[in-house]
Chain A
Amino acid sequence: MPLFSAKFLARSDTALSTSEHISTGLSRREFGLAAAAALAMPTALQAHQTPKITSKGTYDITVDRVRIDTGDFRTKGVGYNNSPFPTVLRFKEGEEVTINVKNNLNETTSIHWHGLILPFTQDGVPGISFNGIPPGETFTYRFPITQAGTYWFHSHSGFQEPDGAYGAIVIEPRGGERVRADRDYVVQLADKHPHPGNRIMRNLKRMPDYYNRSQRTLQTLIKDSRADSLQAALQERGMWGRMRMMPTDIEDVQGFTALINGQSTSQNWTGLFRAGEKVRLRFINASAMTYFDMRIPGLKMTVVQADGNDVKPVEVDELRIAVAETYDVIVQPRENKAYSIIAESVGRTGMVRGTLAPREGMAGAVPTMRPKPLLTMADMGGMMGGMGMEGHVMQNMTGMNHANMTDMKKTDMDGMDHSNMEGMDHSNMAGMNDSNMAGMNDSNMAGMDHSNMAGMDHSNMGGMSGPSSVDPTYVNGSGLIPKAYNGGKFLSYADLTAARPRYKYRKPSRTIELRLTGNMERYIWSINDVKYSDAEPIVLNYGERVRMRFINETMMAHPMHLHGMWSLVDMGKGSRNPIKHTVNVNPAMTVDMDVEVDEPGQWAFHCHLSYHADAGMFRKVVVRGRPA
């Protein structure tokens, strides 16, 4: 591989993908040979790496220092099989795999198989599953493949993952793919930063807004005071300033180059199709810190799988993929033209374009990024809990006559009976604008009858909050509520319905409350205000079903990832609740997920934003007992 330049690799990446498509009847060994043959031909190169397959079910992976060229900048990082492009592991459900991982770095490494259900000693988290792989040594992972779907793998050591140590896993179901597609491509996203991970962490610890280049400035003040008034604009800024919070605090680490399969917009990852074919795209967000909004202008995307588990197909125009999540979509391009795969970061600070094209050498259009969102007081709601308002607001508001609310406008809010809200600590809220005040403690809102609220203008509905009617996974009035690029359908967790439940529904025996907490100014992230280094493990009992209740008291979204066991996100669908490995919890929201405790051992459980996990939003989970 080193014989060919990265640029050359980038240009000709599609050929093997095509041969892959043709080679779907081949055994793995034969496929391996085909791949080797393909590698011999310059025109058949691809961006993805295939690991060396030494015998059936055995895979060799090396962990190496690699040069990374994003087109915007060059840096050194960590890669697999001596390549800056992600390696794709292709397994079959039911097989037993042996994976030899050779560490060519001069520091300890590890590989975690993200989303795979396996014995905990094979899970690859140093300090929890094993001791890590020392420099120069080879560790052999052995585990049965008991599931199918799209997953990924990455280093769980230091900042090797943001530095480039990630790859994809595609597991073919027993009996072949259940959704028919003519083409099948991995689309793995990353947010490659010119700074190495340890430097980013140092900078964030010393100056949390080091990488925030989307802050409000004199220019935005002038713009806002023209739109409203100078007084209003200053008042609003004063409110944020008094709290020492920033409404622009959406992406901690800006300045990255977004990549699809290791390739930036200019390097243009391309997947080929013939008009009318069904193309399966396996979106994987391997970013360190960045959520992406994904779309293919001109095509509907049919979501068929989330986090490796099939869902009832749902057609969308755009979807938001949290860090570490996967979504499989089917698209059917009917015209002989280039279609753009657009991944635009939620904070609109980075974007990548890949292409679906009828032939090589074509490039889809690159749209300009949409305006940057701002957080609102609604997104702050969870933090209010810590300021003495928790539990007061919504309980008292159930006394409100909802029947009178049908025609509510912003101005009518003055008529609200604030006397019921005495429990609120107004001292922290001086200058706060009620109209922006959605979002406190929605967890108490379950009893509210939303059916009476039809016709209400939710956008102006400060003060009361609860889930947004647009997407119940966001707090009402949140600045992060997504809108599809074409005004069409934007995917929500509420749209995800498990196609094949893994467990019968039963009531959880207990609820474990996990407040997601942090101190943005110090860049400390924690659970229940305790950092990992100071925390006791969470103890679960084998055989129980527990409910994990995430209460997000920060202004940021956190993708929470429990290793080893499925996360059943409570969307009110019983056994049809989506089955995930990574659960996004938006600012000021409460999200419940149930866990069938069916794997003994000890597991990692953490926010998958690399720098949040490292700063302490992390727990060890110990499962007591084992199958009888």
Chain B
Amino acid sequence: MQNIKIASAAGMMLAAASTAQAEPLIYGFQAEQFEYRDGDNGENVFVWDFDFVVGTDELKLVWRSEAEIVEGSGDFEGLENQLRLQFPISTFFDGVVGVQASTPDGLPDRYNAVLGLKGLAPGFLEVDADFFLSDHSFFRFEAEYEGLITNRLILTPSIEVTVPLEDDLAYDQASGGATIEAGLRLSYDLIDRSFSPYIGVNYEKSFGGTADLIRASGEENGVTSIVFGTRLMF
């Protein structure tokens, strides 16, 4: 029901935007992460995190996709796709409404409504804060800062915190048991900002009930990975 409401609201906004605008559409593809992770738990994964945007100043439709593919088996350990509508709510922040589908291999599919904020916080911190709402709701906060060593050599610390609001045992998620992913990537803008290869480290650890569930299923908690990849923007 919730999803239907959101979808119809989104449709109305798109219609309003298309009549008010004579300006050309903004569109583009951007991958923040497109990388190979060599984990200290012996598991190597291929990861992407990209979005494709189309829209106007007033309303943008964003397809955001995040995946983790295990090397060897080719299984999607994680696969999340979101359709998000983004609209300005203040000088530096957009409101977000959308839908999310989580469809990894070997786990039940999950669908969520998305309600969030995206923007630029003081100090040039790029932040995303989203509620994912369903029978297995959770909250996720992401922040990233681009530290310029030179105008092309960029050190990007990032942090992602996921907090389950309800238990989801199939996904090893316990209410309140946060998972933190921290990264540090050193990239070089090789061709404009279109192609920026990087190396870096990524660290992921769960806490509370979530940590217990992970340990119970025989997996390691607290994985450090060396990453190689590239940022892309077209």
Q: Which A residues contact B (CB, under 8 angstroms)?
A: 195, 198, 201-203, 205-207, 210, 213-219, 238, 241-244, 255, 519, 521-522, 524, 531, 533-534, 614-616
Contacts and interface: CB of A to CB of B under 8 A. Distances in A.
Interface of B: 20-24, 26-28, 30, 53, 57, 88, 91-92, 120, 122-124, 147-152, 192-193, 233
Contacts, number: 65
A340 B35 CA distance: 50
A206 B151 contact: no
Nearest to A214: B151
A218 B22 CA distance: 42
A217 B53 CA distance: 29
A213 B153 CA distance: 11
Contacts of A205: 26, 57
A530 to B, nearest CB: 12
Contacts of A533: 20-23
Main secondary structure of the interface of B (DSSP, over half): loop
B150 A219 contact: yes
A242 B151 contact: no
A27 B20 CA distance: 52
* A-B pairs with lowest CB-CB distance, top 4: A217-B148, A241-B123, A242-B122, A205-B26
A524 B28 CA distance: 18
A339 to B, nearest CB: 34
B26 A241 contact: no
22 contacts: A198-B24, A201-B24, A203-B28, A206-B26, A206-B30, A206-B53, A215-B151, A217-B150, A217-B151, A238-B123, A241-B122, A242-B123, A244-B92, A244-B124, A255-B192, A519-B91, A521-B92, A521-B120, A522-B57, A533-B20, A533-B21, A533-B23
A216 B147 CA distance: 10
Given A206-B233, A215-B151, A217-B150, 14 more contacts: A198-B24, A201-B24, A203-B193, A203-B233, A217-B151, A218-B147, A241-B124, A242-B123, A244-B92, A521-B91, A521-B92, A531-B57, A533-B22, A533-B23
Contacts of B20: 533-534
Nearest to B155: A218
Nearest to A522: B57
A375 to B, nearest CB: 16
B23 to A, nearest CB: 6
A531 B151 CA distance: 32
Contact of A218 (B26, B53, B91, B149): B149
B195 to A, nearest CB: 14
A207 B193 contact: yes
Contact of B23 (A218, A521, A614): A614
A216 B149 CA distance: 9
Nearest to B23: A533
Contacts of B24: 198, 201
Nearest to A159: B24
Contacts of B147: 218
A24 B122 CA distance: 62
Contacts of B88: 522
A214 B28 CA distance: 24
Contact of A213 (B124, B151, B233): B151
A514 to B, nearest CB: 20
Contacts of B26: 202, 205-206
Contacts of A215: 148, 151
